[in-house]
Structure 1
Amino acid sequence: MVLSIVLFLVLYMSYQMEAQQLKVGFYGNTCRVAESIVKEEVQKAFAKDEGIAPGLGCDASVLIDSTPNNAAEKDGPPNGFTLRGLEVIDNAKARLEAECRGVVSCADILAFAARDAVVITRGFGWDVPAGRRDGRVSHAEDTVDIPAPFFDLDQVTRAFTKKGLTQEDMVTLSGAHTIGRAHCSSFSNRLYNFSPKDTQDPSLSFLYAEQLKQQCPRGTQGSIDPDLVVSMNFSPDLMDHSYYADVLANRGLFTSDQALTTSSATAEQARLYALNGLIWQSDFAQAMVKLSQIEVLTGTAGEIRANCRVVNA
């Protein structure tokens, strides 16, 4: 699932500080190689597995491992079975600690990696304001703020506005679902058990539903293999605007995707993006900058983790 962003691509942070303390080129005097090292690690990982890109882009608190006394965010729903690519962050952090010990935060590494993952899949890049610090708290229950694939338009809009983002930002950032793959279990209710009235979601294209049933068949007991995945669309490794054409043709994979057609405002924005991918790419880059400056730790708050998986002693 891509919105592990969120959404994909969504950079959920733990506390609110002043985003003005973030700035482009933050490591210019303290670790000039910071962004280039992260970019190299993303490129190496992508060369091995093109599906790695959608998994990059979330708050550094999700990197912390669970302990016997605490279930961390990475083990909360849906992260427990959707997060990928964390080894990319580990590798970048190890190199940066060797070059600039105790300087570059895991949160900034993730922000750089999210940008680099978009660029490597042929999306627009952007300058990343940096200076984030790492939180020391990670609880599985905190993942309840991540928009669920079964959300309707009001629910997914509220999830974004709760973080200071507009409905327009939500429509723009939802386009991240043009890349990546999703577990069948995240949308199977639309195919087999939608409502007492309709076995299949009537807002889903019949031909698309038949295709998905072939890819996500039910077993003898009516269950679906939890390991089965499908592509988000026909170009799962390309950051393009085809997502919006799919939604308008009733081929949105998640309920939350198809929900964009349920209001005139969101449908009109989707139509604009379907017609002009350059507008969407530009808006997406701007939305990601806005997103990356919400509720971050800066200044003397938090810490610079030595190991992204463990808080400092």
Structure 2
Amino acid sequence: MSAAMAAALALFSLLAAAWGLPPQLDPHFYDRSCPQAQQIVASIVGKVHYQDPRMAASLLRLHFHDCFVKGCDASILLDSSATIVSEKRSNPNRDSARGFEVIDEIKAALEAACPHTVSCADILALAARDSTVMTGGPGWIVPLGRRDSRGASVQGSNNDIPAPNNTLPTIITKFKLQGLDILDLVALLGSHTIGDSRCTSFRQRLYNRTGTGLPDLTLDASYAAALRPRCPRSGGDQNLFFLDPVTPFKFDNQYYKNLLAYRGLLSSDEVLLTASPATAELVKLYAADQDVFFQHFARSMVKMGNISPLTGGNGEIRANCRKVNRY
């Protein structure tokens, strides 16, 4: 272990209590049982990122959508079965969640190297970190030791994940219910510096200003005009648009600069600037200082990854991330 890594782990231990890290989670969890685990994950994420630059955002999003439903337990990865209704069928995930085949590939490689050892929930956490790093964003030490759930909650997926048209108070409440504060909210939404959104997720911003059919007042007019041809009043629901059209594949602070120019694609993005002085101040801070954004994002990702993990004798280590084990 390098001196830098040893120092980073020592600092992590000091900060763990302040971050509310469950004592069962430990960055060293697989040091003996599967010492090559993190290298395997990073290698496959890197290969896939080279093949499909969109995949980094998709893998990061999977971790978010997993943790906000029943905690970080890989419930999002379960397919429907006789006893499970998959979260993949929920409104936030249907026709948009992707990257499941990448998780399958990582899991198969880990099962070959270290059978019945590395959980699917930990794979999601590591893949999210590696995807951020590979697109130019910050790294962080991932606490490990999560176990996998034996069930899913399509209802929780529909209700608990913030939606593109939610008001800011609703979004704040959904984050608060997960133990995340306003700083976490603004920092974590910065992940929209990469990735895409479908026309159906923001169409109302282009046409639904009360009584006029004009774009929202909080949407730059020239940006709205550029969006309309591929996002008409009807049709084109699945057409994809960059969340950050300036640097769409680079993890940076351009997302916040876009908000200041009223070029946030989703209503749930732009309200960070327009609906609250507290969130607006954070938007301005991150737009001005990328290093501070990176520091806060990394800290909030660790905090989010700590939401209600299954540890110890709870849950299981799935052999196949898409289905529970048979006993």
TM-score (normalizing by structure 1) = 0.91
What is the CA–CA distance in structure 1 between the aligned matches of 2:203 and 2:176, rounded to whole Å? Answer: 28
Deviates more, 1:147-156 or 1:188-197: 188-197
Q: Which residue of 1 aligns with 2:165?
A: 150
What is the CA–CA distance in structure 1 between the aligned matches of 2:227 and 2:196, rounded to whole Å? Answer: 13
Aligned partner (choices 207, 228, 250) of residue 222 of structure 2: 207
Shift of 1:197: 5.3
Counterpart of 1:311 in structure 2: which amino acid? V
What is the CA–CA distance in structure 1 between the aligned matches of 2:189 and 2:207, rounded to whole Å? Answer: 25
Q: Say whether residues 1:228 and 2:239 are aligned partners.
A: yes
Unaligned runs of 5+ in 2: 1-19, 67-73
Counterpart of 2:135 in structure 1: which amino acid? T
Aligned partner (choices 180, 187, 195) of residue 180 of structure 1: 195
- Residues 1-40 of structure 1 mapped to structure 2, 5 A cutoff: 19-40=22-43
Q: Which residue of 1 aligns with 2:8?
A: none
Aligned partner (choices 102, 117, 120) of residue 116 of structure 2: 102
What is the CA–CA distance in structure 2 between the aligned matches of 1:178 and 1:299, rounded to whole Å? Answer: 36
Q: Which residue of 2 aligns with 1:14?
A: none
What is the CA–CA distance in structure 2 between the aligned matches of 1:198 and 1:224, rounded to whole Å? Answer: 17
Q: Which residue of 2 aligns with 1:10?
A: none
Contact 1:63–1:86 (8 Å) recurs in 2: yes
Q: Which residue of 1 aligns with 2:269?
A: 257
What is the CA–CA distance in structure 1 between the aligned matches of 2:306 and 2:41, rounded to whole Å? Answer: 19
What is the CA–CA distance in structure 2 between the aligned matches of 1:142 and 1:67, rounded to whole Å? Answer: 18
Contact 1:18–1:296 (8 Å) recurs in 2: no
Counterpart of 1:152 in structure 2: which amino acid? T
Aligned length: 293
Deviates more, 1:187-196 or 1:146-155: 187-196
1:113-172 CA-partner distances (Å, limit 9, x unpaired): 000000000001000000000001113212120000001211111110010000111011
Contact 2:21–2:303 (8 Å) recurs in 1: no
Q: Which residue of 2 aligns with 1:64?
A: 78
What is the CA–CA distance in structure 2 between the aligned matches of 1:265 and 1:163, rounded to whole Å? Answer: 20
Q: 1:18 to 1:204 in 2, by over 3 A?
A: closer
1:88-136 CA-partner distances (Å, limit 9, x unpaired): 1100100111111100000000000000000000001000000000001
Unaligned runs of 5+ in 1: 1-16
Q: Say whether residues 1:79 and 2:82 are aligned partners.
A: no
Shift of 1:69: 5.2
What is the CA–CA distance in structure 1 between the aligned matches of 2:85 and 2:219, rounded to whole Å? Answer: 36
User: Could you say which structure has the greater relative contact order, defined with CA pairs below 8 angstroms and 6 or more residues apart?
Assistant: 1
Shift of 1:87: 1.1
What is the CA–CA distance in structure 2 between the aligned matches of 1:69 and 1:194, rounded to whole Å? Answer: 44
Contact 1:23–1:131 (8 Å) recurs in 2: yes
Seq. identity, %: 45
What is the CA–CA distance in structure 1 between the aligned matches of 2:242 and 2:167, rounded to whole Å? Answer: 21
> SS of the counterpart of 2:241?
strand
Q: Say whether residues 1:49 and 2:63 are aligned partners.
A: no
Q: CA RMSD in A?
A: 1.4
Q: 1:272 to 1:211 in 2, by over 3 A?
A: same
Q: Which residue of 1 aligns with 2:210?
A: 195
Q: Which residue of 2 aligns with 1:12?
A: none
What is the CA–CA distance in structure 2 between the aligned matches of 1:171 and 1:18, rounded to whole Å? Answer: 21
Deviates more, 1:110-119 or 1:261-270: 261-270
TM-score (normalizing by structure 2) = 0.87
What is the CA–CA distance in structure 1 between the aligned matches of 2:153 and 2:320, rounded to whole Å? Answer: 18
- Residues 228-247 of structure 1 mapped to structure 2, 5 A cutoff: 228-234=239-245, 235-247=247-259
1:255-294 CA-partner distances (Å, limit 9, x unpaired): 1111111211111111011011111011100110111011
What is the CA–CA distance in structure 2 between the aligned matches of 1:283 and 1:299, rounded to whole Å? Answer: 29
Deviates more, 1:199-208 or 1:268-277: 199-208
What is the CA–CA distance in structure 2 between the aligned matches of 1:150 and 1:227, rounded to whole Å? Answer: 17
What is the CA–CA distance in structure 2 between the aligned matches of 1:189 and 1:280, rounded to whole Å? Answer: 29
What is the CA–CA distance in structure 2 between the aligned matches of 1:62 and 1:195, rounded to whole Å? Answer: 37
What is the CA–CA distance in structure 1 between the aligned matches of 2:94 and 2:209, rounded to whole Å? Answer: 25
Shift of 1:176: 0.5
- Residues 274-285 of structure 1 mapped to structure 2, 5 A cutoff: 274-285=287-298
Aligned partner (choices 149, 162, 169) of residue 135 of structure 1: 149
Shift of 1:68: 5.1
Contact 2:58–2:97 (8 Å) recurs in 1: yes
